[in-house]
Structure 1
């Protein structure tokens, strides 16, 4: 993995988790928020934590914002600040700007400002959870875009004891099997809670047999995945 320099502006509930995940993954993370108490609470989990006004172009430049690979505007409740911050980042020459939106109008306004990479974490979480409730066997769902998803599903009864080649999901449904999670038991575990785990089989071959308790990780369009889950 290539280490990136990433600035996250607005450290709310989403921002706190986001910067910690980025930092844990080895990236250089600059956390920016106007509230000193929030910055103090996150300083041990990022590379740099600074309290400043994100609408102040000069303050942003002082933190080396021009050198970041990505700038993420994660503000949730202050859209006016998001707009001004986006303009300031563009003036600084930041090429990759991601901005959070909450409403369709906000999305349109940010798009008019030339911000192409927009995200709504609440919408993605809600859609993923709705998919889990909608389909029997769905374990988890991760939206890659408005069209494509990666999902984890238990093997449908129709495909138990069939090979991946026999299931032929790519040609029947236009979806790809990324990997398989197979339950395993550690007989040497001291606690019963530690005895059960899941083994990742790596990239499966066509002759891999799908077992009853397998979890299949699939990639495809949401429409194609839905067709498969409805079989």
Structure 2
């Protein structure tokens, strides 16, 4: 089976991290940056590392960019270059384009010009940290969409000794407990008869408003 081929444009902290991780996973990775020092840093990490201006269509054509399965545009310090690069990649027929956005306006433009996926690492990490700070029960938070998330929640005393059937969480709150972490064990797709214990970690998926309602009404110690 042919390995997937990736190209990472922009080798700052975010792009560099993606390039390094993909390479460690044995993927074919082309690393591109306009800064020679950054390219040299990844010369022994990526499959190929080249100095190039991604806003120059002829440069991207010469690299055969349209043949890559997935191109990640991780240019963080120049919104104009990020947008122009994305437009060129679309025009060249790249199969899948993921682009890093630096602010909400940038994200809107990227979506309008056809980026397949837009990531907002600083904002998304900020949201995860904020959710962790606000609630003692929330261990981790991952946004699935604007309105849905997966959350790790610590079971409080109020849930201790009750089965999922008794709690009827799905019907009452519209959310699903997809797994339970208990010490070193993970119970995936727990049965309705599964009894929750205090300090179990519940992995919950659902709409943000329903998760918030569940946490407010059921998880409070009062």
Q: TM-score scaled to structure 1, two decimals? A: 0.84
Tell me whether 1:160 sits opposite 2:160 in the alignment: yes
Partners of 1:45 and 1:175 lie apart in 2 by 43
- Compared CA separation, residues 53 and 223, structure 1 to 2 (3 A): same
CA contact (8 A) 1:135 1:230 kept: no
Could you say what the CA RMSD is over the residues aligned between the two structures, in angstroms?
A: 2.1
Deviates more, 1:8-17 or 1:44-53: 44-53
Unaligned runs of 5+ in 2: 218-222
Tell me whether 1:72 sits opposite 2:58 in the alignment: no
Q: TM-score scaled to structure 2, two decimals? A: 0.87
Q: What does residue 89 of structure 2 align with?
A: 89
- Compared CA separation, residues 223 and 47, structure 1 to 2 (3 A): farther
CA contact (8 A) 1:12 1:75 kept: yes
- Compared CA separation, residues 163 and 3, structure 1 to 2 (3 A): farther
Cα deviation digits, residues 124-165 of structure 1 (max 9, x gap): 111111111112211111112222211111113221122222
CA contact (8 A) 1:141 1:151 kept: yes
Partners of 2:120 and 2:104 lie apart in 1 by 10
Unaligned runs of 5+ in 1: 184-197
SS in 1 for 2:194: coil
- Compared CA separation, residues 90 and 179, structure 1 to 2 (3 A): same
Q: Count how many residue pairs are aligned between Structure 1 and Structure 2.
A: 216
SS in 2 for 1:166: helix
Deviation at 1:119, TM superposition (A): 2.0
Q: What does residue 19 of structure 1 align with?
A: 19
CA contact (8 A) 1:157 1:212 kept: yes
- Compared CA separation, residues 42 and 169, structure 1 to 2 (3 A): farther
- Compared CA separation, residues 149 and 28, structure 1 to 2 (3 A): farther
Deviation at 1:59, TM superposition (A): 2.0
Cα deviation digits, residues 95-143 of structure 1 (max 9, x gap): 3222222223222332332335322111111111111111221111111
